[in-house]
Structure 1
Amino acid sequence: MDKLRALNYFLKVAQTLSFTEAAKAFDVPASSISRRVAELEASLGAQLLHRTTRTVRLTEAGQLYLEHIRMGMAQLDAAEALVRERGSTPSGTLRISCMPGYGRVKLMPVLQDFCEQYPDILLDVHLSDELVDLGGDQFDITIRGGAEPEHRVVARRLDPNRFVLAASPAYLAARGTPRSLADLAGHSALLYRGPNSILKWMAFDGGDWVYPALTPAFVSNDGASLLTMACRHRGLVLLPEWSLRHYLDSGELLAIELESPLSVTRSEQIGIFMLYLQSRYAIGKIRAAVEFIHGRLAEPS
């Protein structure tokens, strides 16, 4: 049995939960994928995948095996890439995944400059809020908002992701400027829908976290759409400062300061983080991108 090939096939099936999709990725018949994985299971004496005519899912043993071999395979890929590019300028395909809003507003201008400095690196940029896997043939770098990850990956903070409440001057002139949490009850709210639910506005009043009463006027999973509605005087918007900066500087929107600042999380460790595997940092294209992006986007500490 070619164990390395079998491991790569198993990783792809575990990722896609489909023998057909794995076969397309390697340009081989699905029967070849199935046979190699079956040989791997036989050598281990354990079933890694539950197969039916319609679904594929990991067994408990398969999940455990996947967690242990994923890092090792990523390190092997990194070692091969490091040896191949030794002594050469950074080159090859670099896969980056980033949140859509931050990607369009902040990351893409930086990557345009990066391409001019490193013309031999082909950027493959994926804008999505979905969680993705680092390493292997997935992504080399991901940029996500939230709490700092606790393990497995290196996380470098790019932005504190501080949320700011804002509205248009015309809206505030017509409806008044709120100064307390109680004042929000009489206002229209433009709400952001995250991957799992609508983000709730909350504030710490000195004793506990409270959720102010809101009257939703518009809901979207697209920050740009919320900004458009805010500029058209439809309500209050609570978004990261980096996404509001242009509108605040131009005067299209005004920042609103409440007695108790609003947030969308109780965590004090939130931010925009650039994530990558330490084992792959030595690869020239990854190291170049990490340092370039961090140098351009990270706020001074």
Structure 2
Amino acid sequence: MKASMDDLYLFMLTVRHGGISAAATAHGLQRSKVSRRLQELEKALHCQLLIRTTRHIELTENGQLLYQHISQPLTDVNHAINLLESQQNSLQGVFRLASTASFIASPMFAEVLDAYSRQFPLVKLELLYLQKSVDLERENIDLQLLPNMAEIINLDYVQQTFLTSSNGLFASPEYLQQHTEPKSIAELQQHWLLASRYNATLLQEGTQLRLVSEDINIIQQMASLGQGIALLPNILMREFLQQGKLVQVLTDVNYSDIMMTLVYPSRRFLPEKTRAMVTLLRQKFADK
């Protein structure tokens, strides 16, 4: 029979507290359980470790030898376990989030970051611009945000859709003053189009593409500067419509929706700092 690590730890606690009852009380355990486990430890080691009296305990020579060799290592192990539990449950440390550049650059995501930083000032945010799915555990990334068209490399990862948005066609007022506004998909082929790599596949064959970029922010800026008509997610263009920088055209044309997906390694072992970000994202983009 091998000695149990749990029993060795109980032995160390008993010595430190000067008795079985004191150790049991200090750690919320039953005295009878501690006593029984110490007996099992002695049985496993084939020697007596403690001399039990009514009020306290004494160590035998073997008990002293064992205590000298296990006291500090077990303390270090217990300290490490406590640190891990504290880190998992705390709202501090580093939170690493990966997403497409276009989503990170969006005003709505900036609002999420602002809310998160105000609520959890002890958490340091690290943002990574990644367009494709990566091994989150090996890369030490807490959360990744990806378009639904992206292939997740590890199907064991948790995937949750948190944003669904239709796509629309947008141009600047200046562009529409200089060019005839298209009234049909067929007329759209007379214009330069700007689109993301994902959205470009939604356009009709024969469309003239002036710009294809991973960065929706660049596409929006080019459209605002009059460089063409952009195919962009409606949800991210609201601010620019309100500011008059862009105008939506062909509003009756429907393109496939774009969805964003939350990806994280494990639902069971989800740290609180990650859970808090997931909650904020889902609240911010709910029913948009």
Q: By how many angstroms is 1:132 displaced?
A: 1.5
Q: TM-score, normalised by structure 2?
A: 0.61
Q: 2:131 aligns with which of 111, 129, 132?
A: 129
Show structure 1 runs of 5+ residues with no match. Answer: 1-79, 203-210
Larger Rg computed on CA atoms: 2
Give the root-mean-square deviation of aligned CA atoms: 3.1
Pick from 183, 193, 196 the counterpart of residue 189 of structure 1: 193
Distance in 2, Cα, partners of 1:224 & 1:113? 22
Specify the alignment match of 1:169 in structure 2. 173
TM-score (norm 1): 0.59
The alpha-carbon deviation at position 83 of structure 1 amounts to 5.0
- Tell me what 1:231 maps to: 224
Candidates 202, 216, 226, aligned match of 2:209: 216
CA distance in 1, matches of 2:99, 2:211: 25
Residues 257-299 of structure 1: CA deviation (Å, up to 9, x unaligned): 2554234xxxx6x40111113345542222222223322x222
After superposition, give the CA deviation of every residue in 1:219-278 in whole Å (9 maximum; x if it has no partner). 433322222221122211101123322211112211112554234xxxx6x401111133
Structure 2 Cα separation of the partners of residues 86 and 136 of structure 1: 19
Counterpart of 2:43 in structure 1 is: none
Which piece of structure 1 moves more, 150-159 or 161-170?
A: 150-159
Q: Which residue of 2 aligns with 1:143?
A: 145
- Residue 249 (structure 2) pairs with residue 249 (structure 1): no
Counting matched residue pairs gives 206
Q: Is the 8 A contact 1:178 1:258 kept in 2?
A: no
Amino acid across the alignment from 2:137: G
- 1:85 aligned onto 2:86: yes
For residues 86 and 190 of structure 1, the distance between their equivalents in structure 2, rounded to whole angstroms, comes to: 45
- Give the corresponding residue for 1:290: 278
Residues in 2 aligned to 1:87 and 1:286: alpha-carbon distance in whole angstroms? 10
Q: Secondary structure at the match of 1:160?
A: strand
Q: Quick one: percent identity of the two aligned structures?
A: 23
Amino acid at match of 1:156: Q
After superposition, the Cα gap between the structure-2 partners of 1:90 and 1:110, relative to the gap in structure 1 and judged at 3 Å, is: same
Confirm or deny: 8 A CA contact 1:96 1:139 kept in the other structure.
yes
* Mapping for residues 33-52 of structure 1, pairs under 5 Å: none
What residue identity is the alignment partner of 1:300? Answer: D
